[in-house]
Amino acid sequence: MPAIHLHKISTRAPKGLDKEKTKAKTAKILEELDDLQNLLYAESKHAVLIVIQGMDASGKDGLVRDVFGKLNIQGVTATSFKAPTDLEASHDFLWRIHQHAPAKGMIQVFNRSYYEDILITRVHKWCNDKMAKERMKAINDFEELLAVHNNTHILKFYLHLSPEEQQIRLAERIKNPQKRWKYNDNDFKEAKLWDIYMKMYEDCFAHCNKIPWNITPADQNWYKDHLIASALFDLLKSLKMQYPGLKK
């Protein structure tokens, strides 16, 4: 996989792409995804793990609501990973993650993930480079374990937001009463570390790429949602699933 340089990748939809037509296509895809997800659940031969990473205000919560929230809640679970509790921190860093790995027939969405343990931890120097490389190997082994031993298909998305759009969205959390609950003064402090975060993300992409990353332009939510819904649709369609027959 060639090296990923985020500053060379656009954070916006291609010029000329029609917003309303794209949103209509997304709505159609979501209708078809509902049927495919039901088939996934009924057949119960495959599991799907969706990993969502991105800077603050990149649209992770909205994505979970607007794409995965349209599917049957019996077959989709979303988990957000915050700072580890004392109990979680007393175990290896993947202990709390493995408990939420998807069962066959299920789609599991990770809103942030085990990758935080080689991202924010390195930015703030809670994890040195040696430990980070060891964790990267453990992550690769963990993903291979899920794929090989539980038929888990993993889609990894980095929501590629521009620093300019991030500032607009963070400011909106102050002004908009409906978004004020999301406001965290620490987000602005983290935003000042943008360049370091980009370096850590690029290192992550370089060393944890056995399952490739999807760099997803995120300045426009309608385009981001379309790309991710399309990727999930293509994956489920490729599985050639069939409904089980009558049980004997």
List of residues 6+ apart from 52 with CB closer than 8 A: 60, 63, 64, 109, 110, 111, 112, 113, 157, 159
pLDDT classification of 1: cutoffs 50, 70, 90: low
CB 241 within 8 A of CB 39: yes
Q: Collapsing DSSP states into helix, strand and coil, what is residue 6? A: helix
CA distance 179 to 24: 26
In a domain? residue 21: yes
Residue type, position 240, single letter: K
The parent domain of residue 190 ranges over 6-238
Which whole number is the average pLDDT over 9-34? 97
Structure letter (DSSP) for residue 3: P
In a domain? residue 233: yes
In a domain? residue 145: yes
Question: What predicted TM-score, i.e. pTM, was given to this entire model?
Answer: 0.96
In a domain? residue 181: yes
Q: For position 158, which CATH number holds?
A: 3.40.50.300
CA distance 107 to 77: 6
Q: Which residues of 215-245 are buried (b: 16+ CB within 10 A; e: fewer)?
A: bbbbbbeebbbbbbbeebbebbeebebeeee
pLDDT tens digits, one per residue of 123-157: 999 999 999 999 999 999 999 999 999 999 999 99
In a domain? residue 224: yes
What value does the mean pLDDT of the chain take? 96
Q: Collapsing DSSP states into helix, strand and coil, what is residue 54? A: strand
CB 43 within 8 A of CB 242: yes
Which whole number is the average pLDDT over 95-122? 98
Q: How far is CA 137 from the centre of its chain?
A: 20
In a domain? residue 202: yes
pLDDT tens digits, one per residue of 15-25: 999 999 999 99
Total tally of structural domains belonging to the chain: 1
In a domain? residue 84: yes
In a domain? residue 248: no
